[in-house]
Amino acid sequence: MSNKETGYRVENPATGEVLERFATATDAEITSAIESAHAAYLDWSALDISERAAVVHRAADLFEARKQELAEIISREMGKPISEGVEEAEFSAAILRYYADNGAQFTADQSISTVDGATAMIKRLPIGALLGIMPWNFPYYQIARFAGPNLMLGNTIVLKHAEICPTSAQAVEDIFRDAGVPVGGYVNVLASHDQIADIIADPRIQGVSLTGSERAGSTIAALAGKHLKKAVLELGGSDPYVVLDTDDVAAAAQLAWSTRMYNTGQACNSNKRLIVMDDIYDDFVAELVRLAEAMEPGSPDTAGPGVYMPLSSRSAAEGLDKQVRKAIEEGATLRAGGVLGDAAFFSPAVITDITPDMESHHVEFFGPVAVVYRVSSDDEALAVANDSPFGLGGAVFSRDQLRAEKIARELKVGMANVNTPAGEGAELPFGGVKRSGYGRELGPLGMDEFVNKQLYYVQK
């Protein structure tokens, strides 16, 4: 069974059934959206930031009020468990509130001391209409972390979502419209790939933010560069998760496993490479295998420990299966799972014995696959952790915090964590280095990307 469906649609990943189709926008509709976003920018940016904050606060309240409905929408679109969908809507609300509460502080004028006594300051000003290109794995959260700070700044948003997320995309536009964002202030477009290029080329669009694959990031970066537009890229990751020692191997393995299985393994900053010290490695892997073998397929409303969901689509499951088969052909060992099932189901897998000379060592397994490496020293653990083309996040665990911190400080990543899988919160910046992209979202830095840092100078 191979699903070659394309175009905007709602496709149940548990069955492969296409429930609804949507027409791609016409060129005239794209032009109208850009015109609307530009016109809205002129008025929206002229408002006092406190007025924009009131609107963004209302949007946060609507995300909270509609969280059950929102969760059900994405469970149909991309198979997310209802409980995780509710959490995502709640987190989206928290992000919007964070920027509504802190936006005035983040954009306050910054005085500069001058040698001649003149008045000088940095003003943080909006720049115009922006294009956001969002992925399917976190349909609401990805939008919130892009739209929240930029709407607060006074920018406006043209949003192109993934082809399998048309109804969640519309639900978000409805929230912002109902909250009081003016017509054009946030507009959803069902654009084609060719139309994305046209949008970026339009002089009224001042920047583009993409969360997606390396391939997509390379394409968008080239287009943005060609047209001299600012870009923020959050791309793939193959995050190292280093376990140096533990008082409870089973508990450590369970935390690593539950982290890896969140969102069916479809998270950019998931712990895709588990790097474990050799004295606990065998017991650690044995516990992972036990957990993997105990898992059963389920539906979004029956999610919980021991239950796994389908991937986002049949094509995603087939792509992951191809990667796992390639690893085995190269000499890796499949310890558990790794079976391509019906529709988009793929049984959670544990893989060991991948080595640096294998192609599989350098790829991202975007799904429920835990790859485990054995190491015998802290130096080796660090070397394996940094031997990746990606640099999104990483984590180091040890009973000796200073020992863990020593390695964490040397990780070539955008987000280094000690004794936790990941620091998460609206206030914590998110982003990477190397082939994981550039720019930051969330936290104060998330409001410092698509902004005119204008020097304002008055000679006395």
Catalytic residues: 234, 268
CA 91, CA 445: separation in Å to the nearest integer?
18
d(CA 302, CA 309): 9
Contact of 8 with 163, CB cutoff 8 Å:
yes
The span from the CA of 43 to the CA of 142, in Å, is 26
Closest to 164 (Cα-Cα) out of 298, 3, 324: 3
Tokens of 154: 């006074």
Please tell me what DSSP assigns to residue 441: B
Residue-level length of the chain: 460
CA 34 from centroid of its chain's CA atoms: 25
Between strands 129-133 and 415-418, the pairing is unpaired
The DSSP line for 141-161 is HHHHHHHHHHHHHT-EEEEE-
Identity at 220, one-letter amino acid code: I
**Torsion sign across C-alpha atoms 305, 423, 85, 57:** positive
What is the per-residue DSSP string for 231-298? EEEE-----EEEE---S-HHHHHHHHHHHHHGGGG--TTS--EEEEEHHHHHHHHHHHHHHHHT-EE-
Partners of residue 275 on adjacent β-strands: 242, 373
Name residue, tokens 């016409």.
Answer: 26
Would you give the end-to-end CA distance of the chain in angstroms? 75
Per residue, the 3-state secondary structure of 374-430, as one string, reads EECCHHHHHHHHHCCCEECEEEEECCCHHHHHHHHCCCCCCEEEECCCCCCCCCCCE
CA 55 – CA 58 distance, rounded (Å): 5
Strand partners, 307: 296
Check: CB of residue 329 under 8 Å from CB of residue 310: no
Output the CA torsion sign for 79, 84, 88, 90: positive
